[in-house]
Structure 1
Amino acid sequence: MMIEYLLTATIVVLLPGTGVLYTLAFGLARGWRASVLAALGCTLGIVPHIVASIVGLAALLHTSALAFQVVKYLGVAYLFYMAWGILRDGGTLQVTAERTSVSAFRIIRNGLLLNILNPKLSLFFLAFLPQFVPVGTTSPTIFMLGLATVFMALTFVVFVGYGGFAAATRRHVISKPAVMRWLKRGFAGAFGALGLKLALSDA
């Protein structure tokens, strides 16, 4: 059961999403250290959703249309804000030869908000974690907390890997202005598309 969980969780984490994009963008824009901070922020952003799914608050988002819509549109607004931040000159995720200073707190905070403001994560964990709790487990809550901890560790390791890859290619990217322009548009478009996808989702 644990091997099956590890394989499934790894596949889920590897799939490109807002966290992966955010970490990749910071790896390119600010280097490896910034990408690690971005990965940490995105990983910490999972915590509220895990807690919500385990204590049952995620069920409220599922049953209350208003609660889900409020959190959803906050998430949509934030994704569009991130897209604009990439496009505008001098934005946080600007890829340039000079690594302008961005505080660790800001990098972690933005990654945290990216995941916190995605209500679908709570519903995902609500549906995902119980599938791997063996029948007859005496403490299912503790067992799910263990599964969640493993999921967070996988998330951090995979995201750091993505960020490290982006940081390693940084020198090649900044030497080609045309590539930089397309990457900038690509990252902004990806965040915008994810925001639009979330806006159009029903659940």
Structure 2
Amino acid sequence: MSIEFLLTALVVVLAPGTGVIYTLATGLTRGKLAAIAASVGCTIGIVPAMLAAILGLAAVLHSSAIAFQIVKYAGVAFLLYLAWQTLRDRGALSVDANESSRDLAQIALRGTMLNVLNPKLSLFFLAFLPQFLSGDASKATAEMLLLGAVFMAMTFVVFVGYGVFASLARDKVLESPRAMTWLRRVFAASFAGLGLKLAFERT
């Protein structure tokens, strides 16, 4: 495993996206445990995309306009749903001091769905991972699994960092109804904007 892969993967993981926004929103209003649950969900959501890339399914998705559009618009719908729930004081920005295990599971599930319903993620792995293979065809699958696992571990650590950092500001934010109102609007607009961006993505 090269230092180039680690640095490139870190840059990709640090870049703001749906998972980062979701984890920040969750940590900011629901606290540390909820942020960790969101991080777990977003990390698990990488697994289908990674396996699709390894098995070559991403190439099929890329070549099939219908399959790509189905997954894409399901993702768009889910992002717009999160935006609406955020504005309604539910979903990622629902404040609840007594978080239950069921609530945490729902938070993780939403994080998982964000990545599962992103067709670009499998295409990213298909284009990204092969660049760092040794060139030995007999080891390609094992190497891609290893690289994918490292990428997932980095995602989890970075997302937890984002979420915990956001949770540190939680008390200050919750004390200000005006700040909460603006946060809901900002995160709702972010989810909606990412949904619209995805809607115009092409294979």
TM over 0.5: yes
Q: CA deviation at 1:104?
A: 2.0
How far, CA to CA, are the matches of 1:100 and 1:199 in structure 2?
36
Task: Determine the structure 1 residue equivalent to 2:75.
Answer: 75
Task: Determine the structure 1 residue equivalent to 2:97.
Answer: 99
What fraction of aligned residue pairs are identical, expressed as a percent?
56
Task: Determine the structure 2 residue equivalent to 1:184.
Answer: 184
Task: Determine the structure 2 residue equivalent to 1:172.
Answer: 172
Within a 5 Å distance, the mapping from 1:101-180 to structure 2 comes to 101=99, 103-136=103-136, 138-180=138-180
Letter in 2 for 1:15: A
How far, CA to CA, are the matches of 1:50 and 1:85 in structure 2?
29
Contact 1:29 1:99 in 2 (8 A): no
Choose 64-73 or 105-114, whichever is displaced more.
105-114
How far, CA to CA, are the matches of 1:111 and 1:167 in structure 2?
17
Contact 2:27 2:167 in 1 (8 A): yes
Contact 1:46 1:116 in 2 (8 A): yes
Structure 2 residue runs of 5 or longer lacking an equivalent are none
TM-score, length basis structure 1: 0.95
Within a 5 Å distance, the mapping from 1:9-48 to structure 2 comes to 9-48=9-48
Task: Determine the structure 2 residue equivalent to 1:199.
Answer: 199
Letter in 1 for 2:71: V
Could you report, residue by residue, the CA deviation over 1:174-199 in whole angstroms, capped at 9, with x for unpaired residues?
A: 12222221111000000000000000
Partner-residue secondary structure (3-state), 2:91: coil
Choose 23-32 or 173-182, whichever is displaced more.
173-182
Structure 1 residue runs of 5 or longer lacking an equivalent are none
Contact 1:20 1:162 in 2 (8 A): yes
Letter in 2 for 1:24: L
Contact 2:38 2:111 in 1 (8 A): yes
Runs of at least 4 residues off by over 6 Å: none
Q: CA deviation at 1:100?
A: 4.7
Q: CA deviation at 1:94?
A: 3.0
TM-score, length basis structure 2: 0.95
Q: CA deviation at 1:108?
A: 1.1
How far, CA to CA, are the matches of 2:157 and 2:123 in structure 1?
23
Could you report, residue by residue, the CA deviation over 1:9-53 in whole angstroms, capped at 9, with x for unpaired residues?
A: 000000000100111111012100000000000000000000000
Contact 2:82 2:91 in 1 (8 A): no
